[in-house]
Chains A and B, each alone.
Chain A
Amino acid sequence: MQKRLANWGNFPTVASEESAFTQEDQLRNFVETNTRLIARGNGRCYGDASLGQHSISMLRYDKFLSFDPENGILETQAGVTLDQILDIIVPKGWFLPVTPGTKFITVGGAVASDVHGKNHHVDGAFSGHIIDMDVIIGSGVTTTCSQTLLPDLFWATCGGMGLTGVITRVKFHLKKIETAYIRQKQIKAKNLEEVIRLFEEYKHYTYSMAWIDCLQKGDSFGRSILIVGEHATPEELSSAQQAAPLTLPAKRKLSVPFNLPSFVLNTFTVKAFNWLYYGKNFKREISNVVPYEPFFYPLDAILHWNRGYGKAGFVQYQFVLPLEKKDGLVAILKRISEKGWGSFLAVLKVFGNQDSLISFPMEGYTLALDFPVRKGLFPFLDELDEIVLQYGGRLYLSKDARMKQEIFWKSYPNANRFAEIVQTYNTSQRFASLQSDRLLLTK
């Protein structure tokens, strides 16, 4: 059926023929007899990576296939979402090895974006925890791959944005936990210098990230709150929590029911929000034990928060710069604070080292911020792209909706090798998205 589809940024919106499958033979048959296909999960990548002429909805391809609660190994079809997984594994004492800031993504999407979390500097990206997976490649054949079995297909599929084929099954390791709670510490940093120092000081924490206020100038330039955490042990819980350490208290869900007018989020309101957010921590340091949900998924508590940016949608801009290129971070933050277009939420994190073919993370600083779509935004982002490139950084394809193709080819060092592998498996260019066309990976 022809549908108007958009991902989480509500930009761009396109007409797409969507088909859904529950059986592998039907899916294989569909792949064999169609072209210009792209698999799509829950539509939580921000840009145009899972948009195309024909989208294959994987949301009904959502069966748990095996779960070994002794050794923490889970095998699911690609359309299972992380929130469904957490519901099953947390009560059994297991957690996701890596999780992004939303649990409403599919396992297939987690692989295609090779998602990272607050623990990247310790545990790496999602790909590092995969045992093996199945991909329906361009020939229509279901092909199993792993780090040792067809490693070229494996590495081009992790972070490969669906261009090697349709991921159908993933088997991966889970992480052992004793409680469903996180012992967290929040530390205020007066400026960018201080938060970078704090990241170094707290790097032994498994989870870390900082919320950063992009609109401050002068002494407070880059003021932040660093948030670090560890899975709590039973002894660290209150007696009420200890009664059921692996169960979370039930919570009500909030939702933004419709697109807010775009004037709601402007420099003034963003400043006010940031002021409140920063000011709510009176003390420099706060330590407490919280359920895992607000720690990992603060925004999931507000369903459809993306509607806050209005009908025109928004772009999330996420880049990474090498560790030694701190001045690049300063340069970019300066440009943003001068422009005054800063976003509601900007998140800073230090990545650890990662060997991969096409995945986004590399050792260094990553910053993610939202920009509502408006006149002049894209030329401005093009300017930022140039700075990112100049300092040897790159942009996250899962967030991207507008990068120029030359930026991609220049900033991803393995782009050529990736394109070659895609050509091998994506025979007759069966898989293509708006993003792959834009970046000239297909067409």
Chain B
Amino acid sequence: MPTILFLGAGSDMAVAMARKYAAQQYDIQLAARHAAALIPLQQDLIIRYGVNVTVHTFDATACDTHAAFFNALPVQPDITVCAFGYLGDQEQAQQHWQEAAAIIHTNYTGAVSILNVVAENYEARKTGTIIGISSVAGERGRQSNYIYGSAKAGFTAYLSGLRNRLFRSGVHVMSVQPGFVNTRMTQHLNLPPLLTASPEAVAAAVYKAGKRRKNSIYVKWHWKYIMLIIKLIPEGIFKKLKL
């Protein structure tokens, strides 16, 4: 059976994706900062789907541990999903470097660090799939969340470069821009229902697109056009908008 690794497995989206892949009989590796907190999910996947599930400690911001982490996995995963992220607080991040650094290091530096390790492995083996959960926030900087957005922009650019590099080795890289998703990370926000996906919808879209080896996806089709419009607004006008 193929094996899939979830980095940042505690997030609502990762839980939904783990269930989706487990339902397709993938063996699952769950990794997050607090491995103990993943044990209920591990039991859940085993009981519901009868697959093998292991849990692993992984700290996205502890970059010097990443190579050791990956090499210590009991099985080299066929698919690696980079699902960790930190929304943070934009205003805090403007005033306090600590918050800005946390946003940048979780969403960008940490992701680059671990995926560098994974990419080397997959390139050498000439097989594997990398799925990166990025964000529509990375497509154009807006005053309300540009620190998070710029980290995700960096991550999206990283993924596209990686896709270009690994294409010749037969390794596939997919970027996912979920748009609004109903999760704990966003539960305090008032999100427009029409544009908001459930974690299960994200999981289904990722699974389907992964099968078809898509390069980059939005979960709800509206986002493709919304982002197209947002990207087409001339900067002279865009800078005056309250977004």
Contacts and interface: CB of A to CB of B under 8 A. Distances in A.
B47 A64 contact: yes
A64 B43 contact: yes
Q: Which label, helix, strand, loop or mixed, suits the secondary structure of the B interface?
A: helix
Interface in B169-198: 184, 187-190
B187 A65 contact: no
B188 A63 contact: no
Given A63-B40, A63-B43, A88-B47, A22 B10 contact: yes
B44 A65 contact: yes
A25 B10 CA distance: 13
A277 B123 CA distance: 66
Contact of B43 (A1, A20, A23, A66): A66
Contacts of B15: 22, 60
A63 B10 CA distance: 12
A179 interface: no
Nearest to A74: B47
A341 interface: no
Interface residues of A, number: 19
Given A22-B12, A88-B47, A63 B41 contact: yes
A21 B189 CA distance: 15
Nearest to B189: A1
A19 B187 contact: yes
Interface string B1-19: 0000000001010010000
Given A22-B12, A23-B10, A23-B37, A63 B187 contact: no
Contacts of B47: 64, 66-67, 88
Interface residues of B, number: 15
A19 B12 CA distance: 14
B212 interface: no
A191 interface: no
A208 interface: no
B48 interface: yes
A316 interface: no
A77 interface: yes
Interface in B214-240: none
Interface in A370-411: none
A25 B37 CA distance: 9
B40 A20 contact: no
Contacts of A2: 190
Given A20-B187, A88-B48, A60 B12 contact: yes
5 contacts: A1-B190, A20-B187, A60-B12, A62-B44, A66-B47
Interface of A: 1-2, 18-23, 25, 60, 62-67, 77, 84, 88
